Amino acid sequence: MTKWWKQSVFYEIYMPSFKDGNGDGIGDFAGISSKLDYLKDLGVNGLWLTPFYPSPKVDNGYDIADYYEIDSDYGTMADFEVFIKEAHQRGIRVIADLVLNHTSSAHPWFQESKSSKDHPKRDWYLWRNEPNNWESFFGGSAWEYDETTGQYYYHAFAKEQVDLNWTNPEVKKAMFDVMKFWLEKEVDGFRLDVINFLKVNDSYQDNPYVGEEQTHLYDKDQEGILTTIEEIAAFVHQYPDKFLVGEVGSEDLEILKRYSGLESLDVVFNFNIGSVETFDSERIFRGLVATEEAYREDQIPTLFFSSHDMSRFISRFGGDLDRAKLVAALMLTAKGVPFIYFGDEIGMRDWVTDDINKMKDVQGLMGYKLALESGKTSEEALRVANEKSRDKSRTPMQWDESEFVGFSDVPPWITVPDDALEVNVADQLDDPDSMLSFYKSLLGLRGEHASLQVGDYEFLRYEDGMISFGRTDGIEKVIVLLNFSDVVRVVDGLGENLEFLLSTKRNDLELGEGITVFENEALIIKEVLSR
C-alpha cells in the first residue's frame, strides 16, 4: 500500500492569519474548521499547522510554554478536537508543528532550571560559565547571561527560546511523552522544527567566519544527531500511518539527504530547491536534477517555494501572474510532496511597512536593532528590517476585500501592483481564469493521475528556459511542458496517443507531431501507454 503522504498535497496554515472565528482578529481553530470545505474544494488533503500551544509568542508560537494545551488565542482543546474530527471526515490529515529543540524561557522547565545550579532540571538546558562566539540565527550572541546563578544559557534563536539539552535522557523522555500525547489526540504526524539543531558540539569550539558571516559549523548537524532522529522516527512510526517532515535548517543537499529515508524522517524540506532567492528557471531545474540524483529509492523530495519564514514566491519572483502559475504547475506536477503556503493559491503578495512600530517579527526587529547599533540611519535600518522580517508573508488570508491589509503604508522602494485589491477568495471563486481556479485544476489533475503522485521521471529536461518532464507509473505518462521563456517553442517526439489535459493559455489543443508551447505557458498532456 502506498503511504498516504506520498499521495498528498499539504497546505501550510500560519495559525494567527488564516481565519478568525470569534471576531478578536486572530485566526483560530473555530475559524479553520469553518474553512475546511474551502480546503476540501481546493483539493488539498494534508494540513500543516504552525505551533498552536500556549506561548508568549516572542517568535509567534515557536516559543512553547506548555506542550499539552491549546493557546487561548486559538481556542480550546475542545475546539481542536472538533477541528481534527471535521478534517478527518473530509479526508484531510493534519500535522502539527512541534518544536523539540527549544522551549520558551517562560516554560516551567526553564524556570526550574534557572532557579539554581543544583536543581534536578539544571541539566535540561545548556549552561556555561563563559560564552563562545556562536551567533543566534536572529543575530547577536547565542548566549544570554542569567543573573540568578551567574551563568550563560544557549539559545540558537531568540533569548526567549532556550535550547534543550538533548543529551539528557530525561529531556528525550519528556519530549516523547509530548509526541505520544498529540498522536493520541489523532494528529497524523509532525513537522519537526529545526530538527538538525538538537545537538551542539560538546567541545564548544568557536565557529569560523567567512568574511563577516559566521559558518555554523559546531552548533548544528553534529555527531549523534542522526541517531537521535532515528529514535524519534522509530517512536512515532510505532503508531501506524504517522508522518514526519523535518525542517532541516540547510540549503545544502549533501546535508539534507542525510535526514530522510526508511529508518528516519519520511521527508525533509528541500530548501535546496525552495529557497531560490530570485527567479531562475535553470537553477530550479538543476535543484530538481541534483535532488533526483542524490536521493535513494526510499527518499522523496518535497516541493515548496513559500512559507511563513520566506518571502512569498510570487513577490520574490517578480510578481508576474503567468510565472506564478508556471511555478505552481511545477510544484504540483514534479516529483515530490508539495506544500502550498496559505494565500499563494490566490496570489497573495508580500507585505512591507514604512513604520517599524508595525513590525511584529522578532527577526525583523532584531535586524533593526543591530543595524542601528552598527551606525546605520533609521531609514537604512528599516530597509534591513523589512528584508529580514518574516511579517511579509504572514498577513491575514484575504477571504474578501475587507481583509486586504497589504499595501497601505509602503516604503518608497516598493511598487504596488494594480490588481492587488482583487487578490481575494471571494473575487476568484467563480472566475475560471483566476489563480484559485488554476490551483484547483492542478490539484484535481494531480488527484486523478497516479503518475503525478507516485510516478518516476521518464525524462527531465531543460532547454532555453523551458523545463519539461514526463512522469509515469507504467500505465500512463503525464508530460509537463513549462515554458518560462518569452519565446514560443515547438516540441517534437513526445509520443503517440496524446491527450490534452491542462494549459494556462487555452482550453483545448489538437495534438500531433510538433507541439507548440506559447511563451510563459504551462501545458500538460498525457500519453496513454496501455490499458
Quote the CA–CA distance of 196 and 207 in Å, as a whole number. 17
* Cβ nearer to Ca ion, comparing 20 with 361: 20
The residue length of the chain stands at 531
Site string for ligand TEU, 279-318 (x = CB under 6 A): -----------------------------xx---------
* Cβ nearer to ligand TEU, comparing 366 with 442: 366
HSE-CB for 104 with a 13 A CA cutoff = 19
Task: For residue 145, give the C-alpha cell.
Answer: 547571561
11 closest CA partner among 46, 40, 36, 42? 46
Q: If contact means CB under 5 to 8 A according to the sort of partner, which of Ca ion, ligand TEU, none does residue 144 touch? A: none
Report DSSP state, residue 141.
Answer: B
The DSSP code sequence of 231-262 is HHHHHHHTSTT-EEEE------HHHHTTSBST
Binders of Ca ion among residues 162 to 221 (CB under 5 A) are: none
SS3 label, residue 219: coil
Q: Is the dihedral of CA 205, 206, 210, 216 positive or negative?
A: positive
- Using CB under 6 A as the binding rule, whether residue 363 contacts ligand TEU is answered as yes
Burial class (CB in 10 A: 0-12, 13-18, 19+), 316: buried
Shortest spacing between CB 99 and ligand TEU, in angstroms = 6
Quote the CA–CA distance of 81 and 249 in Å, as a whole number. 31
Span from 25-33, 250-258, 295-303, 384-392 in contact with Ca ion (CB under 5 A): 25-33
Tell me, yes or no, if 193 is annotated catalytic. yes
Catalytic one among 71, 188, 247, 521? 247
Site string for Ca ion, 27-66 (x = CB under 5 A): -x--------------------------------------
Helix residue ranges per DSSP H, 14-117: 29-34, 36-42, 77-89, 108-115
- Using CB under 6 A as the binding rule, whether residue 193 contacts ligand TEU is answered as yes
SS3 label, residue 275: coil
Beta bridge partners of 141: 135
Tell me, yes or no, if 247 is annotated catalytic. yes
Q: If contact means CB under 5 to 8 A according to the sort of partner, which of Ca ion, ligand TEU, none does residue 28 touch? A: Ca ion
Place of cell 536521493: 295
Beta bridge partners of 260: 265
- Using CB under 5 A as the binding rule, whether residue 26 contacts Ca ion is answered as yes
Catalytic one among 97, 188, 193, 344? 193
* Cβ nearer to ligand TEU, comparing 386 with 483: 386
Which of 3, 22, 283, 378 is the binder for Ca ion (CB under 5 A)? 22
Beta bridge partners of 12: 48, 341
* Cβ nearer to ligand TEU, comparing 107 with 440: 107
Binders of ligand TEU among residues 375 to 414 (CB under 6 A) are: 390
Amino acid identity, position 252: D
Rg of the chain's alpha carbons, rounded to an integer? 24
* Cβ nearer to ligand TEU, comparing 188 with 247: 247
- Using CB under 6 A as the binding rule, whether residue 367 contacts ligand TEU is answered as no
Q: If contact means CB under 5 to 8 A according to the sort of partner, which of ligand TEU, Ca ion, none does residue 142 touch? A: none
* Cβ nearer to Ca ion, comparing 79 with 219: 79
Shortest spacing between CB 179 and Ca ion, in angstroms = 27
Quote the CA–CA distance of 262 and 97 in Å, as a whole number. 21
Q: If contact means CB under 5 to 8 A according to the sort of partner, which of ligand TEU, Ca ion, none does residue 163 touch? A: none
**Residues with catalytic roles:** 193, 247
Under the rule (CB under 6 A), what is the footprint of ligand TEU?
A: 59, 62, 99, 137, 157, 193-194, 247, 249, 308-309, 363, 390
Under the rule (CB under 5 A), what is the footprint of Ca ion?
A: 20, 22, 24, 26, 28
